[in-house]
Amino acid sequence: MVNLQQRHIPLNQGFTLVELIATIVLIGILSSVALPKFINFSSDAKVATLQGIKGALSTAVTNVQAVSMLQGQFNVRKTGPNGGVVDINGNALTVYNNGVPRELWLNGFEHLLDIDVEHIGSGTGSQQVVCSRQPICVIDFLRMDRVFEGKYGAYGIFFFPKGTSLSDRCFAYYGFKLDSDGVFEYMEIDVVESGC
């Protein structure tokens, strides 16, 4: 009979070098697959927020056009600050031909959307400013050809998320063009997400 007490069985005291290297390689492979998915959540969240703003802009502009019809300002043919004026829930808003609202945030437009925004400014000098104090920032009264090639004579208002600037190409916007007689040519509401 074998005496088990006398036989010494070596205890495993750790991992071998091969096991450690295999574990490190496996963790590296998993992180290279999983990490980009987690990083992309931030981008997806920005795009989803901008899509929501696009929907809100579309609804707001449609409502302003309807109010413009009801208040006799739908066919106004003026340009600049002298457009027609409509009352939206007790707030005056400048509108142009076809009932399109003027693209100035502090000219009644701020009452159309129920979002917290930081008004960065008007015009081209603000395109490099990074949004930092609110979840969304806005630049208004911006010539669209400063942002898009070939959009001469059109103006827009641009919304972009915290941590970005307009020049990052991650924004929602509303823009339109009138001819020199104040006649509506086109309007667009969309999202640019290439820099999100």
- Kindly provide the b/e burial profile for residues 35-64, where b requires at least 16 CB atoms within 10 angstroms of the residue's own CB: eeeeeeeeeeebbebbeebbebbeebbeeb
> What mean pLDDT, rounded, does the chain reach?
87
User: In this structure, what token pair is assigned to residue 95?
Assistant: 């509108």
Which stretch of 1-10, 127-136, 161-170 has the lowest confidence by average pLDDT?
1-10
Residue carrying structure tokens 């959540």: 41
Summarize pLDDT for 41-100 with one digit per residue, the tens.
788 999 999 999 999 999 999 999 999 999 999 999 887 778 899 999 999 999 999 999
With beta carbons less than 8 A apart as the criterion, state whether 124 and 146 touch.
yes
- For residue 39, the model assigns a pLDDT of 60
Report the C-alpha gap between 168 and 120 in whole angstroms: 15
User: So what's the pLDDT on residue 124?
Assistant: 74
- Whole-model pTM: value is 0.80
The model's pLDDT over 172-196, given as tens digits with 9 standing for 90+, comes to: 999 999 998 999 999 999 999 999 9
CA distance 45 to 196: 9
Q: Which residue has the higher pLDDT, 23 or 33?
A: 23
Provide CB contacts within 8 A for 34, sequence distance 6+.
Answer: none
Q: What percent of the chain has pLDDT over 90?
A: 67
Q: How many CB atoms lie within 10 A of CB 148?
A: 15
